[in-house]
Amino acid sequence: MSRLGRLRVAMPYIHIHWYEGRSDEQKLEIARRITDALVEVGKTPRDHVWIRFEDTKKSDWVMGGEQQG
């Protein structure tokens, strides 16, 4: 199947946007657990689960008018 075809069927797409500082090992473990849950509970094919981690500096976040970093 072409990459474009795969994009059309790949669901769910999980985007984790958080503060920087987690190791690759932590991200892999989190991704594994999320994937396992969606496969077991949601009956989603494993290869349809896409997870993206987006690390940002605390100073890039403002909550309630207060800069976080």
Which active-site residues does the annotation give? 12
Both tokens of residue 66?
Answer: 């207060």
Distances (CA, A) of 66 to 19, 40, 54: 15, 40, 21
End-to-end CA distance of the chain: 44
